[in-house]
Chain A
Amino acid sequence: MNLIVDILRAAIPAGTPLLLGTLGEIYVERSGILNLGVEGIMIMGAVTAFGVTTLTSNVWLGIFASAIAGGMMALIHAFDCVTLKANQTLSGLALTMLGLGLSGLIGKRYIGMPLSSKLQNVPLKGLVNIPVIGPVLFDQDPLVYISYILAFLFWFFLFNTRFGITLRSVGESPEVADSAGINIPAIQYFAVFLGGIMSGLGGAYLSVAYAPVWIEGMTAGMGWIVLAITIFSLWRPERAILGSYLFGGVRVLQYRLQPLGISPNILNMMPFVFTILVLMIASREISKKRIGAPASLGVSYQREKTL
């Protein structure tokens, strides 16, 4: 029992960067834009948070800066896709390369440096004493608690507000949304910007809370797993929670199995193999329930197609 609580409790911080990134990407894709640059934005968030925290000795300033950096990176993508109507796949890949490159350039001086102030665990009084749930959910750091709140807000706004309906209609049928007078570019810019902020925060979580170090390329494919969880979640924030912690659990198992003498290389494969399996399951579910990706995902909207 203790072992299970232990693993679950570790799965939450391991899944938190994924949850933050996925919540953002759900909104991006709901607006009809595919952002394959999550990996690049996350790593920029990680290096920015580490750098600003080192500079100011204030971890919250670091986290705030990472959100801004993530948002700015994402605006490049918004400009490419919404304004230039360029190819969304290429723009996302370019963003990933830019982010990996730029973070390597910026982060060179931080390699091997300890972080001056890391995010500490703050057990929530009262709640933490609930058996099992308490230690698992409420003995974490503040950014984890913030991610719970954000998950709720993302769910609430998407399905219970006028903004949510607008966002979904832009991704589902831009023609209808357009004729209803919705400013499609504005919605898409906002969604992509918000997605960038969330990916930036996800990266920050890695470098100031989870690891607290800077390692070049430390996201190690997490951004791509975010894209997979977005699909697994069927573009629903509440399912993103499940998906993210599931992957967090895989990551924890990866570390726990290491002392058993299994090759670390085999263990490193686990999240990626698991991603493929999970996507296969999700795809079965999608075709059974006849739901799918936002209908205009990845297609730039143009009034009166100039074909």
Chain B
Amino acid sequence: MCSAVLDCRSAKRGWGTNVSLDNRGSASPALIAGFGSGATRIEVRAAEPGGAAAYESALRADLAARRAAGSQLLRNWHIQFTAPDTGQLRSGQVDSRLLATLATLASQYSFRVATFGDTSPGAPVLSREVSITSAGRGDGTGRLAAALAMVRAQALPYLPAHAAIGHLADGQAALTIEFAAPSPLGLLTPVLEADLQPAPARDRESLVRPAGEGSIR
């Protein structure tokens, strides 16, 4: 999982010491949000314990997984997408928590994705927000309410930061689901590999390679 750091080198003197600053901006490339411009610009970036290389590697793997999962979601006949949404899914621009949530909702409801979006100011990050409308006949509002209850009943990391029923510009009732930044990496590919390790040791130290262990998160 990532944690967030503030990268505001140019402004940190003015901020004092009550804000934890991290100057590894180049080693934490994912921009979560940005405020202001020039010398007063403040950027919030993701930080990865393994450093920039590990982060880039995880980012590439996650992008491939999001593209694959998004393309499969396009075949789900319980969900209707608009053309722009289709492009976002195919190009892996949708948060993996949203993808999994939509797949689970589609197991019980038919719905239409009105739009993907994100609420991070000043940062071109993954879409972490979606608005859906009911696509079935009958009590669409009731189904949205049931879907809202399902979404709110989840635990982290699948518990959204915000979920509510509102109305689109055309007056149609819509359920909006928004996940918090940053988008976690590796959620779609949590599989621990079945690699082999050297023959076990006998009566000596160090038997299990730390690298061979999979920490189950």
> Is A bound to B?
no
Interface residues, chain B, with chain A CB atoms under 8 Å away: none
